[in-house]
A = this chain, B = another copy of it.
Amino acid sequence: MRRPGTTKRTTAAGSAASERRDHLVKLAAELFARKGFQATTVRQIADEAGILSGSLYHHFDSKETIVDEVLRTFLEDLTARYRAVLESADDARTALTEMVRIGFGTLEPHRAAITVMQNDWNYLRSLPGDRFGYLVKAEDEVERMWVEQIKHGQAEGLFRDDLDPKLTYRMIRDTIWVAVRWFRPGGRLNTTALAEHYITVLFDGLAIGDRTSHNA
């Protein structure tokens, strides 16, 4: 607000950006992910960058502006990827499979942003004003895409008809994103393996053999 010339960029997709600024955003994102948005101080961000906290305000209006940029970048990339898949998928099962792969595929490049979304979503949404209202908008768009495919699959006779599409979507979404809590790059399993593992369970289930209900 105070230095329109240097801080007017509000989306990370904004052209011709300062690399310095982007670098600062990345440093901040790691701290936000590790310690939480609120617990991260502007002093820590500045320390990480080797400058003093006051100097940060040459680049950003506020701490909120930084986290805003972290989340926007992620959401823009995610929705773009989903849209691309949906244009080319032939049937619902293929579309869902690809969407699951996209989800797990963002775990590594957007690990920090996803962590922040998970942990600080409630807090950011509760802030006065509607600054983070776009979070809900983006979530709604993504939900529509998933639910539509699930319903198509049911209509096509590919998926069980007795499942609630919205509930099914939520469980898939949660299972994917929440993996950022424990996923570490370079570990025993990479995100591709995670995706294929989950796709197997999701479509075909854990059980072997008969598919009759088996309730206690």
> When the two chains form their complex, are residues A158 and B208 in contact, meaning their CB atoms are under 8 A apart?
yes
Q: Which residue of B lies closest to A164 (CB)?
A: B197
- Judged by a CB distance under 8 angstroms, whether A201 is at the interface is yes
- Judged by a CB distance under 8 angstroms, whether A36 is at the interface is yes
What's the Cα separation between A201 and B205 when bound, in Å? Answer: 6
> When the two chains form their complex, are residues B207 and A204 in contact, meaning their CB atoms are under 8 A apart?
yes
Given A126-B35, A181-B174; A94-B202 close (CB under 8 Å) = no
Please name all residues of chain B whose beta carbon is closer than 8 Å to the beta carbon of A158 when the two chains form the complex. Answer: 207-208
- Judged by a CB distance under 8 angstroms, whether A175 is at the interface is yes
Number of interface residues of A (CB under 8 A): 53
- Judged by a CB distance under 8 angstroms, whether A155 is at the interface is no
Using a CB–CB cutoff of 8 Å, the interface residues on chain A facing chain B are: 34-36, 38-39, 93-94, 97-98, 118-120, 122-123, 126, 153, 157-160, 162-164, 167-168, 170-171, 174-175, 178-179, 181-182, 189, 194, 196-208, 211, 213-216
Checking B126, B163, B196 against A200 with a beta-carbon cut-off of 8 angstroms, the contacting residue is: B163
What's the Cα separation between A164 and B187 when bound, in Å? Answer: 14
Checking B122, B157, B159, B189 against A167 with a beta-carbon cut-off of 8 angstroms, the contacting residue is: B189
What's the Cα separation between A202 and B175 when bound, in Å? Answer: 12
What's the Cα separation between A197 and B164 when bound, in Å? Answer: 8
Please name all residues of chain B whose beta carbon is closer than 8 Å to the beta carbon of A201 when the two chains form the complex. Answer: 163, 168, 171, 202, 205
> When the two chains form their complex, are residues B205 and A202 in contact, meaning their CB atoms are under 8 A apart?
yes
What's the Cα separation between A86 and B189 when bound, in Å? Answer: 29
Checking B97, B178, B204, B213 against A174 with a beta-carbon cut-off of 8 angstroms, the contacting residue is: B178
What's the Cα separation between A97 and B98 when bound, in Å? Answer: 29
What's the Cα separation between A201 and B182 when bound, in Å? Answer: 23
> When the two chains form their complex, are residues A167 and B216 in contact, meaning their CB atoms are under 8 A apart?
no
> When the two chains form their complex, are residues B207 and A159 in contact, meaning their CB atoms are under 8 A apart?
yes
Q: Which residue of B lies closest to A127 (CB)?
A: B39
